[in-house]
Each structure stands twice: as C-alpha cells, then as structure tokens.
Amino acid sequence: MAFDDLLPTLGEIGTYQKIITILLYVFKFPAAANVLAIVFIAAPADHWCSVSHWDTANCTELRLNESECAFFKKHLSIPHTIAHDDTITYDQCRKYDVAHVSFADAMTFYAENTNQSEVIYDVISCDEGWTYDRELSGLTITQSFDLVCDRKYLINLSQSLFFVGILIGSATFGGIADRFGRRVSLILCNVIIVISWVVSAFSPNFITFVVTRSVDAAACFGSAIISYVIATEFIGPSKRAFVSVILTTAFPAGYLLLTLYAYFINNWRYLLLALHLTFVLYFFVFIFVPESVRWQISKGRYKQAQETVRRVAEINKVKLEDDFFYKHNIYKSKETGTLEKTRDPNLSDLFRTPILRKRTIVLIIVWMANNLIFYGLHLSTGSFGVNIYLSFLISGIVEMTAMLLIMPMIEVIGRRYSIIACLAISGVASFVVIFTPIGAAKTSVAMVGKFGIACSWAVGLIYPIEVLPTVTRSVGVGICSSASRLVAIATPLVLLLYDVWSPGPLVLQTAAAMLAAGLCLILPETRGKKLPETLEDGETFGIKMREIFPSMEKLPAKV
C-alpha cells in the first residue's frame, strides 16, 4: 500500500503538515532574494572620469564654494553637450587630457572665454578610474568594482554565471536528496548558503564575488527544490495543489522581503550581510523538519518511517491501532524484487521507459518555456515609470495574485487544462505586445502576460511532483529546473535579437508558449490522484489498463 493510503487516517493536511509547510515556506526566500539581488547590488550609478590631480585644488583661493568647485571640476574636465533647455549631458567614459593643466589654469581659460574643447585638449578614455554620484544611489558593486564603460558587460556575465550555478545546483542537489535524504541535503544547502553569502559580502574583488555568488546560487535553488519536495510529499492528494501553490507564493514574497531590506540598506555589502543574518535563523528550524516518509520507505528504512508516521499521528491527535502497520502494509510494493531494490534509481530511469520519458521531456519543455516567457516579458516591459522599489512591489503583487487565483481553477478544471490556459494567455499577450505602442498600454498588456506565466509556473511546479515517482522525484524536479536555467543563461543572447529584429524575442516567446501548451495535452490529469511511488507506478500512472501492457514490456526486468 502506498503512503497516500495512510494519509486519510493521519490527516491529509493536519496540524503536523501545516507546521511543516510554514517552516519550509521560508526556505524558499533565499532563492528569490538571491536571483533578484543583482537589481539592487548592481544598480547603475551616474559616473564620470576621475582627474585625480584636481582633487587637491584649493577652491577657496579661486573664490568658489563647495558646490561650485565640484561643478567646475567636472564641467572643465569632462566632454559634454548642452541641450536647448540648458540640460547638460556629460560623457561617462571619456575625459579631456588635462594631465598637465592645473585646475586654476583651466578656470583661467574658462574666465577668458576660451573654455576647453576637443580643439584645445585631446579626448581620452578614463585612465584614473571613475567618480560616482553617491547622492542618487548607494554603494553598489558597480562602484566597488568599477563595472562601467568597457567593463559594464561584466554585470551581465556575472548574472549568466549565477544561472550556471543554479543549473548545477538544481541537478546536483536533487540527486543528493534522492540518494542521501531530503533533510540532510537541506541542511547541507543552507550551510553553503550562509558561508558563501558572507564571503561574497566581504569580496575583495569581482572574481571572488562572482565565484561565491554562483556557489550560493547552486545551494539556494537546491534548498528551494528540496524544501518544496519535502512539504508536498507529506500532503494528501486532495490538498496537494493548494499547498503547492501556497509554497510557490514564497518566491514573490521573498523578493518583496529583499525590496524591504534594499529600501533601508543602500550599501551592497551590508545588504548581503543583513540577508545572511536572517537566514542563519534557519538553523534553529532544522530540528523540526522531518525526513520524508516516502523517501524512507523507498530506501527500505521502515522503522524510521514508522517512527515518523507515529510522530505525525501524535501531533495530528490521531490514535493509531496496534496493528495499523500490518493492516496498511506500505512495504508490500518493495517485495517484488524490482530494480529499485538492486540499485538507487537515478536520472536515467526517467528516460528508460517510453511513457516516463515522454512525460519528462514535456515537463522539461514546459519549464523552459515558463522561464523564457517570464524573463522575456520582464525585459520587454521595461520600466513602470516609477522607482525600482515600487516596480518590485507591483510585480510582486501581480505574481502573488496570479498564484492565489490559480488555486480554485486547478481544483475545478484540473491541472492540465489550467496550465494550457495559462500558457495560452501568456503567449497571446506576448504576441499583442509586439503591436502595442510604447507606454502604459504596452506595460499593461505585458503584465497580463506576466500574470499568465506566474499561473503557469504555479501549475508547472505541481506537475513533476504529481507525475514523477518518489524514487526519482527530486532528481526529476532538479533536471526540469536545470533545463529551464539554460534559458536564463541565454538571456543576454536573446537581448541581441532586438538589434537584429526587434519583435524577435516576443515572437520566440509566443511560439514557446503555444508549443508548450500543445504538448501539455500529453500529460495526464493528476487532480486527486495518489502520487506514484515506484518506477513501475510512474510508467502506469494515469493510463487505462488496456494501455499498460505494451509499456510494461519496456520496464527493466526483475533481478
């Protein structure tokens, strides 16, 4: 008998499951905070070339106050243009070659109406670093590591390497969780998170920052995946979708938390440290996080599984009969001598048999499409016309609203048709954005698309949990996440399409949404169904009996 058969007795979402869900909800915050932290810690800053030997000029002797002195040092050393409304635009990457000219002499030339120009001075690149306007922005890595002008691309490079870290972590920690257990993997991830984030906050150079942040990305998304798997594996079929969607709202909630921190902390090092100290508190939570009963059963750790079940029953105030474990023989399926008893199932088992292989490929495509459309609409939407903090607030509210509204929808019409509808909405919105004039209308249509893709993400996270068998569930979710990160890594390349053919990215998003929506017809409806436990369960899940036998011939032979 499968673990799902015990849950009606133990409670599909009793006190124990509610506590575990709340505890694991916060474990998804680091992933959201980390993936979006770059927006705040690498925010652009107004900058211009430094002219170091003018820094010590005595402005008092020239009868200039502090603001006048600062203005003329910039105005007389930096090439600029003056618009019809007298607005001055300064070059950010070049300066006049005034190495052999004192500030006093430059002021004399200016007073004599022979102000410097490219005729008087040569124009050169910034050879002494940059000066930053700290009044308009706090301290960011842009300033700390001079990521401007010909070094500006390094910000995008760091984000691509960050997504490489996510890809590695999603695949690696999923396999570790299936082999060594969900709980120990979760602890390992959070140890790495705290160490890497603290090191990144004290990074002496850009390379150290990029490496530690990539390691941190791997651990953050490993933690997010594993916590999601643990929580949903304890929930009964009728409540699993509700809990899955609630867990999904942790992502927008996480970056709203980041926004709050960033609003009050304008130094990137202090911001990272503040977030680290918050996540250190997680170590006090681990004593309450259990190992997955499904994983314990799949590994033959029956005594441990019994102890966990008794603890669930005790907290849920359910009295178990003395012969409960004999009447509900949850170990019967393990006595068949199948492949799971001879070796640990791994990623290859998801592609070994035809039905699991087909479904795994569809899930991977859906996750990749979700990622492409999410980032594509984000880049196409551009600015809301308000400050970055309000933009994040609006975006977070839209995503959370979408995820909450999808809950009744997936219970009424099911998972399959819900995700098809959500993908179709995002695809149509992406297409309409192409023809919508720039402004509020374009932003509104893009937000409709983001609403749809947020709903699709919520349902897309549920599907691997409910379709893939317990013995390969974590690694299955991990490979879906890893594949989707390939799209994120390629995001800078997608941006290049704007220069070649401006509608290109949006056309690509539309095609991806419609393709994924069509392929979802292959997936079985999982609403109210028991989770598959073994590879054999996964291969026969959602298939009528007359359709089983051809597929069963492809299953691994008994050993």
Same domain assignment for residues 317 and 389: yes
Final residue belonging to a domain, choices 99, 132, 165: 132
The answer to whether residue 140 is domain-embedded is: no
pLDDT digits (tens, 9 = 90+) for 294-351: 788 778 787 888 888 888 888 888 887 766 766 666 555 444 434 444 556 677 888 8
Same domain assignment for residues 361 and 228: yes
Tell me what pLDDT residue 337 has.
39
Ordered DSSP codes for 221-285:
HHHHHHHHHHHHHTS-HHHHHHHHHHHHTHHHHHHHHHHHHHHH--BHHHHHHHHHHHHHGGGGT
Backbone angles phi, psi at 124, to 5 degrees: -130, 170
Domain span at residue 73 reads: 47-132
Q: Report the 10 Å Cβ neighbour count for 531.
A: 26
The answer to whether residue 143 is domain-embedded is: no
Same domain assignment for residues 219 and 179: yes
Tell me what pLDDT residue 379 has.
55
The answer to whether residue 137 is domain-embedded is: no
Same domain assignment for residues 185 and 111: no
The answer to whether residue 144 is domain-embedded is: no
Distances (CA, A) of 470 to 101, 396, 466: 74, 32, 9
Same domain assignment for residues 188 and 175: yes
Is 50 in contact with 131 (CB distance < 8 Å)?
A: yes
Same domain assignment for residues 341 and 286: yes
Same domain assignment for residues 24 and 90: no
Query: Which candidate, 389, 378, 379, 382, places its Cα nearest to that of 137?
Result: 389
Counted domains in the chain: 2
Same domain assignment for residues 293 and 221: yes
What torsion do the CA atoms of 7, 13, 18, 21 make, to the nearest 10 degrees? 70
pLDDT digits (tens, 9 = 90+) for 174-187: 778 878 888 888 88
The Cα 57–Cα 163 span in angstroms is: 47
Tell me what pLDDT residue 386 has.
54
Final residue belonging to a domain, choices 132, 160, 191: 132
CATH classification at residue 191: 1.20.1250.20
Final residue belonging to a domain, choices 132, 159, 175: 132
What the block records as the tokens of 482 is 């890893």
The answer to whether residue 558 is domain-embedded is: no
Same domain assignment for residues 70 and 10: no
**Below-50 pLDDT ranges, the chain:** 1, 116-118, 333-341, 383-385, 545-549, 551-553, 557-559
The answer to whether residue 557 is domain-embedded is: no
Same domain assignment for residues 499 and 528: yes
Same domain assignment for residues 80 and 158: no
* Polymer length of the chain: 559
Same domain assignment for residues 179 and 269: yes
